[in-house]
Chain A
């Protein structure tokens, strides 16, 4: 059982927007602004796409955005493209130098 809860799947058509949720507790997501998101293509290492809730690393397209409300963080992909089809994971610092991940969401571009 994963510490953070994500929907196992999400989908959208090209050009649409899709939002993936990540629910934790006040001890992780709700307690710190250290939520991050990762994109993982099959057989590849994960890639950081959002850190500190809503910050995008250099080179990450602006169609990826992050937010947080209470114990739930969200990743929104706007203007879906075929290349966005991948697995997405959220993570949060959980205090006491411990990190937790979500179970992952498989995003399908229809």
Chain B
């Protein structure tokens, strides 16, 4: 089941710079997308979401962009801080369904 894919297993960014995490999906029936952050031995923590009727949603340092024609979404974090070091998951919700379909995750490391 590869409906949601995060092709970069890891990403390393300098503190203060922009982090860009990417996610691709295959099912055009996904209508709601979420980003979660996960520290080791903890549950996923919700960061930001976007409905398929929008192409951008912003919350503080976090912005999510959705390109429906490319079936691609990205999470921008600016400026990146050491506390942002974690695994980031994108997840998608099928229209009318309750389950979330997760990507494999990208490990983000912010270097001082």
* B is bound to A: no
Interface residues of A (CB under 8 A from B): none
